[in-house]
Amino acid sequence: MFTRLASFCARVLPLLILLWGGAAASQAGVKSVVVTERTRAELLAHAPEGVEPGKTVWVGLQLAHQPEWHSYWKNSGDSGLPTKLEWQLPVGVTAGEIAWPMPRKYPIGTLINYGYEHTVLLPVPLTIAPEFKPSLLANALEVKLKAQWLVCRKECIPEEGEFALAVPSRSATALHGPAFQASFAAQPKPLAGQATVTIEGTALRLRVDGLPADLRGKQLEFFPETAEVIETSAPWKQAWQGELWTATVPLSPHRVQSPQVMPIVLTQGSMGWSIDAQVQGAWPAAPAPAALSPALQEALRANAAAPQSGAGLTLAAALLGAMLGGLILNLMPCVFPVLAIKVVGFAQHAGDQKARRIDGAAYSIGVVASFAALGLLVVVLRGAGQQLGWGFQLQMPGMVAALAVLFTLIGLNLAGVFEFRQIVPTRMASLQSCHPVLNSFLSGVLAVVVASPCTAPFMGAALGFAIGLPPAQAVLIFSTLGLGMALPYLVASWAPAVARVLPPPGDWMVVLRKLMAYPMFASVAWLLWVLGQQSGIDPVGALLALLVATGMLAWAFGLSGHARLVVGAIALASSLGFAWLLAGQIGSGRPDRAVAAKDGAWQAWEPGRVEQLLASGRPVFVDFTAAWCVTCQYNKKTVLQDPAVLADLAARDVALLRADWTLRDPAITDALAALGRNGVPLYVIYTHNAAPRVLSEILSSRELRAALAAIPTSESSPTTNRPPVLRPAVAS
């Protein structure tokens, strides 16, 4: 019985592993177009004379905004952020600055921002040096870009994308010439005249000559390229004195820049001019930042200087933690389904010591090799710039759906609905007895795939420490974790005393096999819930329909004659149809992360939010979690909903933040890395007077309440110092 099940897994698992590896590789891959609900971003190239030294090559990011949305100029105005471009270019190629088109003003309430709506192209010139040598295989200039832009309407949403483009070296590239020409035409023209800025108390007096004669008497728009100098939204005056254009602009009360040269842009209709204005006079003293209390200053210094959790680990301590974490991992609910298969196999070999030992050794090798491969994959992809962490494969909705289908088939096989010999020809099915070692090895691979969403005690610090090590040492820690997980089964398979405890083979083995189907079905229910958290209810419905069709297909293999052909064809067509429907829905129904993270007093974590709350005088508790993390959900339903814990949190006015890592989120990955971790769960308490305190992965009410009791009473009292005035970064 078990050998047929293992043979089935041996044939299905390679397909799953290919899907897993392909999905991981796709995260590392890049493309020339990124589409969101608000923008369509595309990397374009313009090389009308080819790619050669001395020739002009232009590349640029084109942003096509949805109606009412806009992004920002190099000086965003009262709020917002300019688009940021980070280039990765081959040797001999350097990127210049963005040739910014003329912006327009966006009054929002009492604020004025500078930016773009509709479609804008931000071109960048590339300088080609003689050292540039195109790839022999591609014969092209390989351009890679990581871009970040902020889009705003009434609300603001930061977006980002990674792009790649191959520009042919030996031929002209002018497909997007009209877009680049339109962008060049929209850039302000250099002005040949002179411009000065005179500082007069709390205002600036501008004088510009050399403007076209047909502009005299017309109102111009004024855009300073230097941010945080003028009061953007304040009224200002302009006038013509013959050929001289003058303006009086108030200084910002929060000015932080004191330039000696102020590049400015003047526009009138669709025309614009740029000029560098020389500053005359002495800048008034910049306003001092809002005072912070000595305690808050000390706390911010302590938090900034706090060592990463795990930074004090040695390699030996990390290996010991990995071994202990792997041992405890066998007790995690994630691993129960695979252990169910191993229990059946262990009982199958109860009377054959040699077969039992081979099975245990092959399973252990499969576990260790899979952990090593997974660790190497994470290290390599992170080294390539990808923000991945422990359990990253379950951040992919496609992988979650694939595991649900696989577990359903394994559960149906355990329950006796079908046998693998019914699916393949007799000759192929007879080979299953020749591959018991491969079957056991692949069951170890499956164990790692299923166990990786869990983080056991001692694992977090060890894995976080491993990420910062050279690849060889990092893989050693991951392999030790696998050895710890495999060790109990390996010892049991080699210990004769264990076999003597088992009853002789009989009908109880059939009952045990069918009983073990139910942990598999329970895992399917959990995966359906995870998919719902990631993609919404519609993909869950499509996956449920696919599982029903898959079950019907498995049952059809047990039929005979004409019924098998007809029922099998209907089931196969249904399975393919629902799989196609599911593929189209996955990822399209991603729920609002900010809404999903809220739960009563909980707020969604976001970068900078902890610092803001600390500055307001409140301690902060952060729950780094994910829907696919079983340990996270257990802690959430027990400790984090304990009335005594909630009362202590409320009594000390602790701000509650939830960082939801169910889907890939580079900001959360960075926050985990800063704390010496690369997986969830992670629980952290931030206070003004101490470094961040990291709690255990398997949280207890006693531990959390003790940590809360250590917060000084004054910590939770309202601060008498006003928080520092911060320039809004993401306001529309």
Query: What span, in angstroms and rounded, lies between the C-alpha atoms of 213 and 191?
Result: 13
Does residue 62 register a pLDDT over 90?
A: yes
Does residue 68 register a pLDDT over 80?
A: yes
Helix axis angle, 459-467 relative to 353-383, nearest 10°?
50
Does residue 662 belong to any structural domain of this protein? yes
**CA distances to 94, 98, 246, 622, 680 from 87, in Å:** 9, 12, 40, 34, 32
Considering the domain architecture, whether residues 267 and 327 belong to the same structural domain is answered as no
Does residue 529 belong to any structural domain of this protein? no
| Four-CA torsion 515, 519, 522, 524, nearest 10 degrees | -110
The rounded Cα 276 to chain-centroid distance in angstroms is: 41
**CA distances to 377, 399, 672 from 28, in Å:** 11, 16, 20
Query: What span, in angstroms and rounded, lies between the C-alpha atoms of 16 and 130?
Result: 47
Considering the domain architecture, whether residues 217 and 176 belong to the same structural domain is answered as no
Does residue 101 register a pLDDT over 70?
A: yes
Considering the domain architecture, whether residues 126 and 201 belong to the same structural domain is answered as no
Mean pLDDT throughout 498-510? Answer: 67
Considering the domain architecture, whether residues 449 and 493 belong to the same structural domain is answered as yes
Using 50, 70 and 90 to split pLDDT, how confident is the model at 85?
very high
Locate the DSSP E strands across 631-678: 655-660
Does residue 539 belong to any structural domain of this protein? no
- The answer to which of 340-354, 478-492, 535-549 has the lowest mean pLDDT is 340-354
CA neighbor of 409 nearest in space, from 18, 24, 11, 3:
11
Question: Which pLDDT belongs to residue 165?
Answer: 87
Using 50, 70 and 90 to split pLDDT, how confident is the model at 381?
low
CATH at 197: 2.60.40
Distant-in-sequence, close-in-space partners of 641: CB < 8 Å, separation ≥ 6: none
Which of 162-166, 316-320, 407-411 shows the highest mean pLDDT?
162-166
Using 50, 70 and 90 to split pLDDT, how confident is the model at 726?
very low
Considering the domain architecture, whether residues 276 and 385 belong to the same structural domain is answered as no
Instruction: State if pTM tops 0.75.
Output: no
Query: What span, in angstroms and rounded, lies between the C-alpha atoms of 680 and 294?
Result: 34
Dihedral sign (CA 154, 156, 157, 162)? positive
Using 50, 70 and 90 to split pLDDT, how confident is the model at 600?
low
Considering the domain architecture, whether residues 448 and 387 belong to the same structural domain is answered as yes
Of 187, 216, 251, which residue sits at a domain end? 187
- The answer to which of 292-301, 402-411, 562-571, 699-708 has the lowest mean pLDDT is 292-301
Does residue 169 register a pLDDT over 80?
A: no
Does residue 295 register a pLDDT over 50?
A: no
Q: Which tops the pLDDT comparison, 612 or 290?
A: 612
Burial label, 419 (beta-carbon count in 10 A; 0-12, 13-18, 19+): middle
Report yes or no: 627 and 530 within 8 Å, Cβ to Cβ.
Answer: yes
Query: What span, in angstroms and rounded, lies between the C-alpha atoms of 551 and 65?
Result: 45
Considering the domain architecture, whether residues 632 and 676 belong to the same structural domain is answered as yes
Does residue 592 register a pLDDT over 50?
A: no
CATH at 60: 2.60.40.1250
Report yes or no: 9 and 439 within 8 Å, Cβ to Cβ.
Answer: yes
Q: Which tops the pLDDT comparison, 188 or 728?
A: 188
Question: Which pLDDT belongs to residue 10?
Answer: 47
Considering the domain architecture, whether residues 457 and 600 belong to the same structural domain is answered as no
Does residue 571 belong to any structural domain of this protein? no
Considering the domain architecture, whether residues 65 and 142 belong to the same structural domain is answered as yes
- The answer to which of 329-333, 385-389, 583-587, 678-682 has the lowest mean pLDDT is 385-389
Largest interatomic CA distance in the chain: 109
Considering the domain architecture, whether residues 47 and 113 belong to the same structural domain is answered as yes
Range of 265's domain? 190-280
Tell me the per-residue pLDDT of 141-154, one tens digit each, with 9 for 90 and over.
889 999 999 888 77
Considering the domain architecture, whether residues 200 and 336 belong to the same structural domain is answered as no
Q: Which tops the pLDDT comparison, 605 or 534?
A: 605
Does residue 588 belong to any structural domain of this protein? no
| Four-CA torsion 251, 257, 260, 264, nearest 10 degrees | -60
Does residue 153 belong to any structural domain of this protein? yes
Query: What span, in angstroms and rounded, lies between the C-alpha atoms of 664 and 638?
Result: 26
Single-letter code of the amino acid located at 37: E
Q: Which tops the pLDDT comparison, 107 or 70?
A: 70
Strands 602-604 and 655-660: parallel
Does residue 469 belong to any structural domain of this protein? yes
Which of 114-118, 459-463, 475-479, 714-718 shows the highest mean pLDDT?
114-118
Mean pLDDT throughout 478-493? Answer: 81
Report yes or no: 692 and 675 within 8 Å, Cβ to Cβ.
Answer: yes
Considering the domain architecture, whether residues 502 and 366 belong to the same structural domain is answered as yes
The mean pLDDT of the chain is 76
Does residue 146 belong to any structural domain of this protein? yes
Question: Which pLDDT belongs to residue 716?
Answer: 47
Q: Which tops the pLDDT comparison, 385 or 181?
A: 181
Using 50, 70 and 90 to split pLDDT, how confident is the model at 324?
confident
Tell me the per-residue pLDDT of 612-658, one tens digit each, with 9 for 90 and over.
888 888 899 999 988 777 777 778 888 888 888 988 898 888 999 99
Mean pLDDT throughout 646-675? Answer: 83
CATH at 628: 3.40.30.10
Query: What span, in angstroms and rounded, lies between the C-alpha atoms of 545 and 540?
Result: 9
The rounded Cα 350 to chain-centroid distance in angstroms is: 46
Mean pLDDT throughout 109-136? Answer: 86
Tell me the per-residue pLDDT of 198-245, one tens digit each, with 9 for 90 and over.
988 888 899 999 888 888 888 899 999 988 888 888 888 999 988 899
Report yes or no: 531 and 591 within 8 Å, Cβ to Cβ.
Answer: no
Helix residue spans in 426-536 (DSSP H)? 426-429, 436-451, 459-467, 471-494, 496-501, 507-515, 517-535
Single-letter code of the amino acid located at 568: G
- The answer to which of 293-302, 540-549, 632-641 has the lowest mean pLDDT is 293-302
Does residue 397 register a pLDDT over 70?
A: yes
Of 493, 520, 547, which residue sits at a domain end? 520
Helix axis angle, 507-515 relative to 336-348, nearest 10°?
170
Of 520, 550, 572, which residue sits at a domain end? 520
How many structural domains comprise the chain?
A: 4
Token pair belonging to 457? 């005690």
